Amino acid sequence: MSMSADDEGAPDRDGVERAGARLAPDPKGAGGKAQGGLSLHVPEPEFRPGDTPDFSDVPIPKAGSVRKPPIDVDEADIHDLAYSIIRVLNREGEAVGEWADMLTDGELIQGLRDMLRVRAFDARMLMAQRQGKTSFYMQALGEEAIACAFRKALKPGDMNFPTYRQQGLLLSTDYPMVDMMNQIYSNGADPLRGRQLPIMYSSKRHGFFTISGNLATQFVQAVGWAMASAIRGDDKIAAGWIGDGSTAENDFHSALVFASTYRAPVVLNIVNNQWAISTFQGIARGGAATFAARGLGFGVPSLRVDGNDYLAVYAVSKWAIDRARSNLGPTLIEFVTYRAGAHSTSDDPSGYRPKQESAKWPLGDPVERLKNHLIAKGVWSEERHVQAAAEIESEVVQAEKQAERHGTLHSGDKPPAREMFEDVYAETPPHLIRQRQEAGY
């Protein structure tokens, strides 16, 4: 991926930024021969395989140009933030503007290591899937900054309700990498006992709610968790996660109406990575200018942020989390990013988008951008970067070896079949005891 955080565009709220989403006229027309003059509009992405993607005319607000309001700001006074993009790192790798300077050098270096850890873990598990060690994998390539930086703004006891692409929420904590691999392999040491599709982790202790696989359901559950925290007068907050495509689900609306009505202490995160499997984000967004703007009708403060800018992600996350914890209610955040890899190991993006599109994406690569920032500050170097990457690679390889000692999907240990009948209920009811006996366990 290229490193081209473009600073040329003005922070122009009228010329709404719609990277990768501009509506192109449909040359074939969808309506056929119309007698009454009506025709159906079906949005199309601007570029398809064979096209040369060109985002040079996409206005990207200058880093540092978007103001930072106080957390108790009136929602009506920040509608413009739902249409802009909050950015901190400029093209020279400098952190600029009111959202900058929230993290120490040490914290930033740790953030870089967290992202490298996600990237190395993903690469290794992608290969493991190709080698037949598991059935399925989903990487977060290009989106690492979002989960990693958001996690750092939370406190112990807060709860995430993630989607399947927030492995960074676990990999930026002390959750054992080997347990994630055991889950991916559904092996004898799988903490979820072989019951879940690979990557559908769960860890209450690490503030990571069990991943569903059905879309958007977790968004409203996060609101309920936050309402419970408020009912109990606690100080913990919840975070809901959703993708651009699944904002079209009913539960997105349900979450916003409940969050808005009860002023729940929740941060509602939309990760707009431009693609929902093969469907470009314009199909879910429709005629709205941005996904963040969906929050405005609910009276929920809504911000749009450069998801490939670790510093901006942290700053905006912290702002929203502080609001929630101060009993000021929910915030909707749209993280603008790009899914650089395939949707999953079952997907081939060359069938629906140009191969070069991710390299042309105007917000660059989050790892490169943070690395260049740290080098520009004089606290990091190419040598240290290579060394850190090698250490992490070694950690991943060691974890994989350790996991494989407990088996992989088709070889070695696996959870006993008898366990299939457990945990359907707290106590196994008579019909399940009968079925377990019938099955011979």
H or E element, residue 262: helix 250-262
Write down the least CB distance from residue 321 to another protein, Å: 17
> Between residues 401 and 418, which has the closer beta carbon with respect to another protein?
418
Of the residues 204, 286, 287, 378, which one makes contact with another protein according to CB under 8 A: 204
For residues 62 and 312, the answer to whether their CB atoms sit within 8 Å is no
Asked if 135 is part of the footprint of another protein (rule: CB under 8 A), the reply reads no
Which residues ranging from 147 to 186 are in contact with another protein (CB under 8 A)? 159, 161
Candidates 128-136, 165-173, 209-217, 388-396; binding stretch for another protein (CB under 8 A): 209-217
> Between residues 149 and 266, which has the closer beta carbon with respect to another protein?
266
Write down the least CB distance from residue 52 to another protein, Å: 42
For residues 406 and 413, the answer to whether their CB atoms sit within 8 Å is yes
Asked if 193 is part of the footprint of another protein (rule: CB under 8 A), the reply reads yes
Distance between start and end Cα atoms, the chain: 52
- Residues 150 and 312: their CA atoms lie apart, in Å, by 10
Q: Which residues of 232-265 are buried (b: 16+ CB within 10 A; e: fewer)?
A: eeeebbbbbbbbbbbbbbebbbbbbebbbebbbb
Asked if 231 is part of the footprint of another protein (rule: CB under 8 A), the reply reads yes
Tell me the pairing of strands 275-276 and 279-280. Answer: antiparallel
> Between residues 91 and 253, which has the closer beta carbon with respect to another protein?
253
Asked if 220 is part of the footprint of another protein (rule: CB under 8 A), the reply reads yes
Asked if 222 is part of the footprint of another protein (rule: CB under 8 A), the reply reads yes
Residues 6+ apart with CB under 8 A from 338: 20, 142, 143, 273, 274, 308, 357, 358, 361, 363
SS3 at position 274: coil
Write down the least CB distance from residue 73 to another protein, Å: 25
Of the residues 2, 39, 261, 381, which one makes contact with another protein according to CB under 8 A: 261
H or E element, residue 271: strand 266-272
Asked if 110 is part of the footprint of another protein (rule: CB under 8 A), the reply reads no
Which residues ranging from 368 to 427 are in contact with another protein (CB under 8 A)? 423-426
Candidates 246-254, 327-335, 365-373, 406-414; binding stretch for another protein (CB under 8 A): 246-254
Handedness of CA 339, 340, 341, 342 (dihedral sign): positive
The binding site for another protein (CB under 8 A) comprises: 159, 161, 191-193, 195-196, 200, 202-204, 209-210, 212, 214, 217, 220-232, 238, 250-251, 253-255, 257-258, 261, 423-426, 429-431, 434
